[in-house]
Structure 1
Amino acid sequence: MSIFEEYAYYYDLLYKDKDYIKEAKYIDKLLKEENENINYILNLGCGTGNHDTELHKLGYSIHGIDMSESMIAEANKKKTEKLTFEVGDIRTYKADKRYDAVTSLFHVISYQNSNKDLESALKVAYDSLKENGTFIFDCWYGPGVLSDLPKLRVKKVENEKCKVIRIATPEMFASKNLVHVNYETIILDKDTGSSKILNETHKMRYLFTPEVEYMLNKIGFKNIKCYEYGSKNDPTYNSWNACFISTKL
């Protein structure tokens, strides 16, 4: 079962402060710089479909996949004729068509902890693209993570129905370039006064430019670029999030 199954219902509330509109405009700009004729996008690891919804508003037809049935159930509440969603594993998915672009956003690639899983996900992106298609993904950036080590964080959000408190406790595994983020999420029901606790561990791999370039080249991607996510600057030791762009040739 996907680690997101139980808390999919609270996902949008937890990330209501995430600027999906701004991020979609950033991805749109990068896509247009690569190719003005991109119309059809496959999004690997779509979650509840928030990036997809905003990119759809910018004129794209998008198909999102996610291995969490609960996430896709939430995403399907937002679907339209040209915005569709499907349960699927980004490591094994076989697209029934070829897309102009493939995206994988909000650190989905960093959930691919082993080299085998990472290469499999990158290969799915490659196989799903048309010739000269564009692949864009973001991930945890190793130099930034190691310069500003993960810390315990507490997040509190609420709406008219519930209050959610999420405590994130990190555990580092330096030899594997992994951070296990142990989440304890407390949900308080405002109507009944009842509460429940969800415990999950998100295993995140931080990546370095040379290893990403090697894997992308091995699969067949070319013209690789790397930016600090949200800009076109080179990532630095202050960058936790990097964005990679490559082309299927």
Structure 2
Amino acid sequence: MYDIFSQNYSELYDSLYFDKNYENECDLIEQIINDYSSKKSKNILDLGCGTGNHSIRLARRGYKVTGIDKSLNMLDIAKNKLKNENIPVEFLHSDIRNYSLNQKYDIVLMMFAVLSYQITNDDLIKTLQNVREHLDENGILIADLWYGPAVLNLRPENRLKIFDHDDQKIVRISSGRLNLIEQTCEIRINLWKIQGSKIINEIEEKHTMRYFFPQELQLLFHFCDLKLIKIGKFPEFNIIPDENSWNCTIIAKPLKNSR
């Protein structure tokens, strides 16, 4: 795992994903909690919380939320959003592979493909073992990730996105390249800040993402004392993912008598 989300990129993050429907995703999270949690869940651990878009919305709905992220830039933005809020959420700087909070949580979240950023088996196992360590015996893990059958079928495309940020125009071009042996996709992102007719800043980032297959997930989770309960499309969770479902949602629970 490597450092990504530079300060310049982090500052543009919320504008870049202005059209992402976080409220609907929180509805999905609550639906899964209601359907799959055997207890009234109140505390949530949001791993890879970024700028806090899920954490803050869930805290507004009455959950007590702890968000963890490795990017100080993203966390600064998340904390600034709390200035006019009085809600039960805190943001902590740590690595999701090795944090230690000495607390159990009813729900652990890894949204927006956080698990797909764990590109090596070692990183995956450390992350999932730490999830198990912090998950209540009756708790559930909810995550979305890249679904291998669809990634191989659809293949990454070159994409162009133009959007406004303050008084500037932002142009984003992304391209992806698959590594079939490592089951990863290297995404190259170029961003240009334009004010009037002048380019005032250029940002380049590289994000490497891993895609997964169902039986691989079952084995990984079992190795980490977790049981994969369900895989569904994202965000249409009750539909079985297919070769056109780039993202899928997964639910896992602790294996009983594993500790």
1:108 has 2:114 as partner: yes
Note the C-alpha offset of 1:223: 5.3
Query: 2:119 & 2:235 partners in 1: Cα distance?
Result: 24
1:170 to 155, 176, 179: 176
Q: Which 4+ stretches in 1 moved above 4 angstroms?
A: none
CA distance in 1 between partners of 2:154 and 2:41 (Å): 36
Letter aligned with residue 177 of structure 1: Q
RMSD, aligned α-carbons: 1.5
Taking only the aligned residue pairs, the percentage that are identical comes to 33
Number of residue pairs matched by the alignment: 248
Alpha-carbon distance in structure 1 between the residues aligned to 2:107 and 2:162:
36
1:81, distance to aligned residue in structure 2 (A): 4.5
1:59-85: CA deviations, max 9, x gaps? 211111110000000011223441111
Quote the Cα distance in structure 2 between the aligned partners of 1:105 and 1:30.
13
Q: 1:1-249 counterparts in 2 under 5 A?
A: 2-6=3-7, 7-35=9-37, 36-79=39-82, 80-189=86-195, 193=198, 195-222=200-227, 224-231=229-236, 232-248=238-254, 249=256
How many Å separate the matches in 2 of 1:222 and 1:114? 20
C-alpha deviations, 1:171-214, integer Å up to 9, x for none?
11111111000001111246x95511111100000111111111
Q: Secondary structure at the match of 1:10?
A: helix
AA paired with 1:215?
Answer: L
TM-score by length of 1: 0.95
Alpha carbons of 1:189 and 1:73: their partners in 2 closer, same or farther (altered >3 Å)?
A: farther
TM-score of the two chains, using structure 2 as the length reference: 0.91
Counterparts of 1:144 and 1:59, CA distance in 2: 36
Q: Which 5+ residue runs of structure 2 have no aligned equivalent?
A: none
Using the TM superposition, give the Cα deviation of residue 89 of structure 1 relative to its aligned residue in structure 2, in angstroms: 0.7
Task: Say if 1:141 and 1:242, in contact at 8 Å, map to a contact too.
Answer: yes
